[in-house]
Chain A
């Protein structure tokens, strides 16, 4: 029985198209254990469509990995330090937080303020 199981493991498992394609991620990351990598390669050798898919996939991953990185503008550190100083000096931490997370578009904010001013004027002139 043990010998039979060993013989089974020695034989490369046959992958279908879906199974082979699902392993592209690990193959591109070079994280696929050798027996599985061998099984994918053997599927690719016999399947033109999956081979073309793999070539495109691998080329894309390579292209993205070697794309030139964007560099921060030269003054970035000074800009950050000034901003931190400004925040500390004026104690605007909470206001800044509110602005970042709840900021209203100007086209909403201005009509709201105008409406509030008109309402206040009407209330005052009525009393």
Chain B
């Protein structure tokens, strides 16, 4: 990922200008730019779960995602000085995350570690990861199964489609934010997301049969 990929984000005016959230973000940013290590730790703690969840959806592996999150925040730390504040900090972090995930997927593909088409292989692995070793009540087991099924179905999508499902339906971002992160036109975002949802419905429907 070139530094321009990371940094040249949206030209639209400051999204949260004037809002309390925008104000606290500006305070945090100025502390970060002064090199305040506590501010950086606060930033990591604030965003780590969302970034981790996004990475798991993208690469389908918790260990790989954990390593990716570290790389993403290192990249955030290195490029903070170049963040132009014309978008929300979280949007910028998601854009870095997207680029890192795409690069990692390419790398994993080169190493022959692509996706598996069979639910049995991936789904049950994800299931055992989700429920852990502890004895699990029925509802927790069913919830873990559902998580595993959804994750398997997402892993069957193309990376672009996976990303849109993660950003819109899991992270709940607005289309404006998704357009800034993906650099795709609105029509493309919507038509790809629509197709991705249809494919997910088809895959999950087949699992239920």
Contact = CB atoms under 8 A, between A and B. Distances in A.
Contacts, number: 103
Which of B62, B65, B70, B165 gathers the greatest number of chain A CB atoms within 10 Å?
B70
B44 A80 contact: yes
Interface residues of B, number: 48
B147 A80 contact: no
A77 B45 contact: yes
DSSP class of A's interface residues: helix, strand, loop or mixed?
A: helix
A84 B44 CA distance: 12
B111 interface: yes
A8 to B, nearest CB: 28
A83 interface: yes
A63 B103 contact: no
Interface in B74-94: 74, 77-78
A123 B41 CA distance: 53
B71 interface: yes
A59 interface: yes
A56 to B, nearest CB: 4
A68 B139 CA distance: 13
A69 B65 CA distance: 14
B126 to A, nearest CB: 10
Give the contact-size bracket for chain A.
Answer: 20 to 34
B119 to A, nearest CB: 15
A84 B73 contact: yes
A64 B48 contact: no
A28 interface: yes
Contacts of A81: 37, 40-41, 44
A87 B74 contact: yes
Given A80-B44, A80-B73, A100-B103, A69 B194 contact: no
7 contacts: A22-B194, A61-B169, A65-B169, A70-B52, A76-B44, A76-B52, A100-B1
